[in-house]
Amino acid sequence: MSYIVPIGPYHPALEEPVHARLITDGESITDAEVFIGYNHRGIEKLAQQKNFIQTLVMVERVCGICSHSHAFSYAMALESIAQMNVPKRGQYIRVIIAELERLHSHYLWLGIALHIIGHDSMFMHTWDDREAIMDILEELTGNRVNYGIITVGGARRDITPEQKQHTLEMLDKIEDSMDRLKEMLLSDKTVALRTQGVGVLTTEDAIRIGAVGPHARASNMAVDVRKDAPYSSYDDFDFEKAVFPTCDVFSRVVIRVLENYESIKIIRQALEMLPKGPINLGTRIPKIPAGEYMVRHEAPRGQLTYKVVTDGGETNKRVSIHVPTFKNAPTVPTMLKGNSVADAGLIIASIDPCFSCMDR
């Protein structure tokens, strides 16, 4: 018997609104459709009315998780149009915050995935560990969510020697707890039963649909903007692209564990090699000539793109924002096919979606 099962736009298994329509044959999903846009706030439209600093503040609020990635990308686009050279110390501070953001985002996703599969004790453990990262972010930026560390031309806050020392000590503790978490995640029977062989996205499908970020890397695609098209100061650091071949939800768990180690490695190097000198080019509203530029940034969920067009005036002619979920959400129907309805919530969540980001 064939049924159409609607999920969302508002559903207990979804953190944010999206609508999926599952076409089922008994318990099995035979096809699916996804509809987006329930959280559209007209941010691109608003960007056309605001000056560059106002837009910087606004785009940081596109997303509550990868807020720094948005401000970082927008600032890089303007700096490229205006051919500004961001001081090296400012670049390093940006990278440190970006990698801390990746860490807390990956911990957040791991916690949500564990919660969805019903492993609430490990969910609590994961989010408890995440608090240490949030504390570092608060100490370095003054904020836990929208950090406000970016300005056009650099960073807004410096890192003191005491903060540097404390962050390095905290990273040691986070890495220790990460070792324990890795052990549990990779050996737990419940995690294995609910994630292995579930929501498979083959490498061919990932390439065909254009998946990005950890979602693509979990389908054995070796793509990472930080390596493929380095920006800011990522060229200065030694780290690996994490790739895993099983293409299922378990693979997406493993990828995030592996990437946490790489992020810790990058933050340590950036702190230890933090160059001396200014952190920005001043905090006045910048003058941006007419031009256009597209920036790619490896946000926690994957490739984030900002295309900015300016006409030499005080506002943006066009700001076009495309987040990793926009590229990864079309993979959901493919992943759902052949799985049971009970796994639909987990499979949708496995792309680490941010629908507010996507709808902007």
Partner 1 sequence: MQEYRKISITKDEIRTVAQRMRDNGVHLAMIHAFLDENGKGNVSYEYEIDPAIESYTVEGENVLPTITDIYDLGAEWPEREIMELMDIKFEGVDTSKRLFMPESMFADQGGHILVTPMEDLINEKKAKEDEK
The yes or no reply on residue 208 touching partner 1 (CB under 8 A) is: yes
Which residues ranging from 89 to 108 are in contact with partner 1 (CB under 8 A)? none
Rule CB under 8 A: choose which of 9, 15, 31, 44 binds partner 1: 44
The yes or no reply on residue 37 touching partner 1 (CB under 8 A) is: yes
The yes or no reply on residue 337 touching partner 1 (CB under 8 A) is: no
The yes or no reply on residue 223 touching partner 1 (CB under 8 A) is: yes
Rule CB under 8 A: choose which of 157, 265, 317, 337 binds partner 1: 317
Rule CB under 8 A: choose which of 139, 294, 315, 341 binds partner 1: 294
The yes or no reply on residue 80 touching partner 1 (CB under 8 A) is: yes
Stretch that binds partner 1, among 104-112, 240-248, 258-266, 302-310 (CB under 8 A): 302-310
- For residues 352 and 287, give the distance between their C-alpha atoms in angstroms, rounded to a whole number: 37
Rule CB under 8 A: choose which of 303, 310, 350, 356 binds partner 1: 303
The yes or no reply on residue 35 touching partner 1 (CB under 8 A) is: yes
The yes or no reply on residue 217 touching partner 1 (CB under 8 A) is: no
Residues that bind partner 1 (CB under 8 A): 33, 35-37, 40, 42, 44-45, 49, 80, 207-210, 223, 228-231, 235, 292-296, 303, 305, 307, 309, 317-318, 320, 322, 326-327, 329-331, 359
